[in-house]
Chains A and B, each alone.
Chain A
Amino acid sequence: MAKQLTIAIASGKGGTGKTTIATNLAKVIAEDGKGVYYADCDVEEPNGHIFLKPQIEQSRTVTVPVPQVDENKCTDCGKCGEVCQYGAIVHLGNKKVLTFDNLCHSCAGCWMLCPAGAITQKKMEIGIIESGNSGDIHFAHGKLRIGNIRSVSLINQLKQSIKARDLVILDVPPGTSCPVVESLKNVDFVILVTEPTPFGLNDLKLAVDLVRKMEITFAVVINRDGIGDDKCEKYCQQENISILMKLPDDRRIAEAYSVGKMVVDALPEYRKDFTGLYENILQEAEK
């Protein structure tokens, strides 16, 4: 068997159809008898479960270490506050040290540098990881706790929990910021989903810059083909980027989406588009 392939479905712009592509792709590949693991890395707003409707079998709480100070042991050296780049620990003098759990990035600097051993680690809950099955598809997603900002740590834990399959599909959050970078680490291939509009093109260029910087092989899928203009296609031609699939602007796709139905179930004529996409991915990933 060929080695496991990890594909990430990403986009610069939100709402271009990442989840539509990711879930339908997972479904046709699983129906082809391949072992597929779908993981929704959009931990701030996961939505893959709406379409895949998985049976959740496991749920676990994810924690990160944050500092806890025993002020009696403090020697007023101030090193903890100096090393912190996020204002998560502040030394005010007279053995007074404040901590702000929600600002902490768990770099460990404060507890490693404290010469008095006054700082220890405590656990902060940042979210949960749920996993289970949707038919033959293995499913997992992360849910970030409301008000928490540690999406990167949760994505990292989610990715570590993925068990080897023929194919892993990562549904990536939108944009080009830290959670996206974390999601794209160590993937074999990225699909950038865009819509053929000026907004879609602008954000596609940002996403292309990112994946090129990360040196990951990638290609483009155009969703809602027929709206907007041909500038995305021209851009891809100029930049020598392959377009692996164009999903037309079909009202029936939007209607299926609005009631949580998969495209390939509601409109079987699109099944061949997704199997074709998979074949194209395999070809491109070989390059």
Chain B
Amino acid sequence: MIIAITASAEGIDSPVDPRFGRAAYFAIVDTENDQCNSIPNEAVSAAAGAGVTAAKTITDTGAQAVLTGNCGPNAARTLQAAGIKIYAGVSGTVKEAIEAFKAGKLNETQGPTVESHFGTNG
């Protein structure tokens, strides 16, 4: 299964970025072999609509779940429409997040956890 984790830098040891739309990177991880491909988030400096654009990027990777700190309403709507599960409130490193996910310790989030623009100045 492919999962996406918001990350503040490249690689599996980088910290989880608490923001979704304005996250620096997305760590795209295959849970079968823990192979991690870090892709930069093009929406990080977008004038507007970062959550939607970031969600589209995730959709195109084929990920079935997103692990992040917070998720705004536009991002949540887009991810849900694409059938991607959201796990918010995740912290620590990307590696720790993957382990927690595999161990079934994360709870699926059913909607946005913050208002629009929450991560803009974060």
What is the minimal beta-carbon distance from B4 to any residue of chain A, in angstroms? 15
Q: What is the size category of the interface that chain A forms with chain B?
A: 10 to 19
Residues of A with C-beta under 8 A to B74: 87, 100, 103
- Contact stretch, chosen from A90-98, A167-175, A267-275: A90-98
Quick one: which of B67-90 are within 8 Å of A by CB?
Answer: 74, 77-78, 81-82
Nearest chain B residue, comparing its CB with the CB of A99: B52
Nearest chain A residue, comparing its CB with the CB of B49: A87
What is the minimal beta-carbon distance from A133 to any residue of chain B, in angstroms? 38
Q: With A81-B56, A87-B43 as given contacts, are A92 and B78 in contact (CB-CB < 8 Å)?
A: yes
Q: Are A98 and B49 interface neighbours, CB within 8 A? A: no
Quick one: which of B1-56 are within 8 Å of A by CB?
Answer: 43, 46-53, 55-56
Q: Are A98 and B48 interface neighbours, CB within 8 A? A: no
B93 at the interface (CB under 8 A from A): no
Q: Are B59 and A93 interface neighbours, CB within 8 A? A: yes
Q: Are A96 and B82 interface neighbours, CB within 8 A? A: yes
Residues of B with C-beta under 8 A to A87: 43, 46, 48-53, 56, 74
Scoring A81, A91, A98 by chain B CB atoms within 10 A of each residue's CB, the highest score goes to A98
Q: Are B82 and A86 interface neighbours, CB within 8 A? A: no
Q: Are A98 and B78 interface neighbours, CB within 8 A? A: yes
A85 at the interface (CB under 8 A from B): yes
What is the minimal beta-carbon distance from A238 to any residue of chain B, in angstroms? 35
Q: Are B52 and A90 interface neighbours, CB within 8 A? A: yes
Nearest chain B residue, comparing its CB with the CB of A87: B49
A88 at the interface (CB under 8 A from B): yes
Q: What is the size category of the interface that chain B forms with chain A?
A: 10 to 19
Q: With A87-B43, A90-B55, A92-B56 as given contacts, are A103 and B49 in contact (CB-CB < 8 Å)?
A: yes
Residues of A with C-beta under 8 A to B46: 86-87
Contact with B along A179-191 (1 / 0, CB 8 A): 0000000000000
In-complex Cβ contact of B78 among A84, A86, A90, A93 (8 A): A90
Residues of B with C-beta under 8 A to A90: 52-53, 55-56, 78
Contact with B along A68-86 (1 / 0, CB 8 A): 0000000000000100111
Contact with B along A85-118 (1 / 0, CB 8 A): 1111011110010101001000000000000000
In the bound complex, what is the Cα–Cα distance between A88 and B47 (angstroms)? 12
In-complex Cβ contact of B48 among A81, A86, A91, A93 (8 A): A86
Q: Are A98 and B51 interface neighbours, CB within 8 A? A: no
Residues of A with C-beta under 8 A to B47: 85-86
What is the minimal beta-carbon distance from B116 to any residue of chain A, in angstroms? 8
Residues of A with C-beta under 8 A to B82: 92-93, 96
Q: With A87-B74, A103-B74 as given contacts, are A92 and B43 in contact (CB-CB < 8 Å)?
A: no
Q: What are 19 A-B contacts defined by CB distance under 8 Å?
A: A84-B49, A87-B43, A87-B48, A87-B50, A87-B51, A87-B53, A87-B74, A88-B49, A88-B52, A90-B78, A91-B56, A92-B59, A96-B82, A98-B77, A100-B52, A100-B77, A103-B48, A103-B49, A103-B52
18 additional contacts, CB 8 Å, given A90-B55, A92-B81, A92-B82? A86-B49, A87-B43, A87-B46, A87-B48, A87-B49, A87-B51, A87-B74, A90-B52, A92-B56, A92-B59, A93-B59, A93-B82, A96-B81, A96-B82, A98-B77, A98-B81, A100-B74, A103-B74
